[in-house]
Structure 1
């Protein structure tokens, strides 16, 4: 995935601050037997040692990952927190033993599925570092923001993977298909390309979120696509950005 923009770095740290968490991570989880494992894209506040231990072996005992692996890909993102697993001794003993030892008190995860075996996972963690630590505030606004952040990262990752494939295909022209972007549509798509969510696009363009949603609906119809990843791929292939 391309490096995070300054906006994305600032946004992730702002969500951490508002939630009370002092760790945030984003990683790709593959449950495919021949390629099982995790790949981190960022790990704010998480020590390199914890990241290494988790990447090498701990992920296989993570009840969050085992849960979503059993559920498979759904049409909507999944939000899980530590309270849903505490007290369940049927799995994850080694995971909880390590997590408790390094001081993780609270965990909230948002999972966006690509396929029944591939997931993008964002996690907020509250780590006790020798001081009194309050619970993570998993308010609706925090969950919505972290959900949007993970969803936008998922879109950007998929777009970066699709782009080389599309560049090798015969190039269609926007003129040939009678397609174009209005100045306002171009502003919206450029903001999407920069990693902004609806709320941030609305603020940047001084429009309502309702108006931004309508812009996307019209753009989806115009370019015969069903999601933002496909929209970005289409306008890039047509040379409209």
Structure 2
């Protein structure tokens, strides 16, 4: 799997998330399209996940280029996309769209973390099999509100969007996020989403 991420921070989050789920050796990150295509040319992968902003061009052209290098590679695009562009992308061979409501790093990494889980059938089992993870205590029980916040995070929603959806203040959402991070033993959204799926807290 190759993930296209424009910022070093996002690359670090995804690399850490992949490592956490036990699939680090199967996930590579690229900082731009030429690097991604070169990685894919040298070692064609089963899956390419990129943000639409990362591509910087027509997704149809990008998908066609990737599929020309390896017709069996699946392409997943993340980020906001118009219905017209989405239909063209799917028609060109894009296998899936993980559409967030914005282009914030948190939304992208949450979407990609979810893609890793959905496209690696053994990812959850692999993470559970890691000795270090196996020795971790079961996460403290989350409150119903914390589960709501976590579920919204898994959909790539920002704190402001979660606050609006749940009729809370942004500060209250941040407070819930800090508490659930502490209970799950994680430090960011990508890890929180991964742990939530691994522990079957959300599905």
More strand by share: 1
Q: TM-score, normalised by structure 1?
A: 0.40
TM-score of the superposed pair, with normalisation by structure 2? 0.46
Q: Quick check: which has more Rg, 1 or 2?
A: 1
Give the structure with the higher percent helix: 2
